[in-house]
Amino acid sequence: MLKEPRIAAIDVGNDSLKAIFGKLEADLHIPNVIAQDTADRPIIGVEDLDEQEATEGIHIRLHSPILQENNAIYRVGQLATKSGNATELDPGSNKSEEDQTIVMLLAALALDAAREENKAIFKRSNNVIEATYTLGTGLPLREVKEGKDVGYRSQLLGSVHQVEFLVTPKYQGLKVNIKFDEVKVYPEGFAAFINLVMDNNLNVVNKELIDKRILIQDIGGLSTDVAVIQNRRVDDDKAQGFNLGVSESLDAIREEIFSKYGVELDSRADVVEIITKKNDRNHIMVKGSRTSVHEIVDRILLELAKKQYRHLRNIWARNSQTEICYFIGGGSIVLKDYLKALNNNLDGYNIDFFEDEKESVWMMANAYYKLITDFVNKNREVKQPEKEKTVATK
Ligand SMILES: Nc1ncnc2c1ncn2[C@@H]1O[C@H](COP(=O)(O)OP(=O)(O)OP(=O)(O)O)[C@@H](O)[C@H]1O
Ligand SMILES: [Mg+2]
């Protein structure tokens, strides 16, 4: 039997990791937060938790020569948020050089490898799973420009990485040995462009767009990146990134709601829910009374939208022949109405947003999926005769 490595397309965003696996049958969305543990935490009712809670209870030990700190124990994602010493990526850091990026990446792959449904795909013996993946992922344009993608790729490719599940629901005691048969590292801006103009088979679906000069402004949790696309290519020299995302504003809203009304929201996600929900938007309950937080939300988000708009203006001024700018990323969903209003009152640029919120947030992961699937398909075509030969001789 010839088994092909499983496809994984993973976007390690500053705010959250998004991953797509196999033939699109599985995906993961995990907050990019980790906390290092010095000891295993006690086991409480782990047995009766289901798969969802495995994602919310990631507790692992990592063995990999590429980690600066090898054999460390981490809480990852939701579980880490609840711990006092959680770390999030620092806006000024390099994604490719942080242990945190690798920890997130390996945790997501191990979670996928351990799924019940994948028992048939990967070899399992004595609680050890041997998992081989073909990985498509990305780095910010800036890091690719500095050539950091080369080292990042060869590190991942060059060794076996082991994820050991500690007190994780369902998977406790499992060890996953992760290997890569191929790793592709795409620049983020380029990936967004691919996703806009091509379908899953990399056929051009947006003929109108492909030869235009376009901007893609990706507003994330901690950073914003603007890609300039011309002649079907990302113009490296014109791309811009800045350390301003939407997380800070969400935190500010949360703090102000607390100090004004004494209502404590648990997370940024709770704030997003309040400001984007379809019914009763921008309202909270205070001691049982429906209360508007419109003023707080509008003031803080308008402030951020103005900064983002200023940035758009600068880039547009330097790329005057741009035809359209697409706003993507979770931040664009939050700021959409404010940016549209500003634009209507000010310059009236040709700007566009994605109605489907999922599309906006999953843009990069979708793009990596398309690119890596295409790579695998093309590779298979080339390799096919060879494989048939080996099968025949066995
Ligand atoms: N469906 C949604 N609706 C509204 N806001 C969202 C949605 N999903 C995510 N967000 C918010 O948008 C912000 C950015 O999310 P996104 O996933 O684009 O960031 P990221 O890619 O992880 O970060 P970065 O691009 O900085 O690396 C987050 O703070 C999140 O709370
Ligand atoms: Mg992002």
Amino acid at 10: I
Instruction: Tell whether 89 is covered by a domain.
Output: yes
User: Which is more confidently placed, 347 or 234?
Assistant: 347
- Kindly report which listed range (64-73, 302-311, 383-392) carries the lowest average pLDDT score: 383-392
What CATH number did the domain enclosing 49 receive?
3.30.420.40
Same domain, 181 and 75: yes
User: Which is more confidently placed, 90 or 189?
Assistant: 189
Same domain, 261 and 131: no
The whole-angstrom separation of Cα 52 and Cα 54 is 5
The whole-angstrom separation of Cα 8 and Cα 287 is 46
Per-residue pLDDT at 308 exceeds 50: yes
User: What domain range includes position 159?
Assistant: 6-190+363-393
Q: What is the pLDDT of residue 333?
A: 94
Instruction: Tell whether 129 is covered by a domain.
Output: yes
- Structure token digits, residue 177: 């040995």
Same domain, 110 and 26: yes
Same domain, 174 and 238: no
Angle at 99 between CA 110 and CA 121, to 5 degrees: 15
What is the CA(280)–ligand 1 centre distance, in A? 22
Same domain, 132 and 252: no
pLDDT in tens, 168-187: 989 999 999 999 999 999 98
- Residue located nearest, by CA, to atom 2 of ligand 1: 330
Per-residue pLDDT at 2 exceeds 60: no
Same domain, 319 and 347: yes
Per-residue pLDDT at 152 exceeds 80: yes
Tell me the C-alpha to C-alpha distance, in Å, between residue 94 and each of 99, 140, 184, 291: 10, 9, 18, 42
Same domain, 297 and 368: no
Contact (Cβ atoms closer than 8 angstroms) between residue 99 and residue 68: yes
pLDDT in tens, 44-87: 444 445 556 889 999 999 999 999 999 999 999 988 887 777 77
What is the CA(334)–ligand 2 centre distance, in A? 14
Residue in this structure with the two tokens 């376009």, named with its chain if needed: 214
DSSP-based three-state secondary structure for 236: coil
Instruction: Tell whether 199 is covered by a domain.
Output: no
Q: What is the pLDDT of residue 394?
A: 35
Same domain, 179 and 218: no
CA-closest candidate to residue 218, choices 257, 194, 198, 188: 188
Ligand 1 binding site (Cβ under 6 Å of any ligand atom): 13-16, 218, 220-223, 245-247, 250, 268-269, 272, 276, 329-331, 333-334, 357, 361
Instruction: Tell whether 197 is covered by a domain.
Output: no
Instruction: Tell whether 99 is covered by a domain.
Output: yes
Give how many domains the chain has, as a whole number: 2
Instruction: Tell whether 200 is covered by a domain.
Output: no
Cα pseudo-dihedral 140, 141, 145, 150, rounded to 10: 50
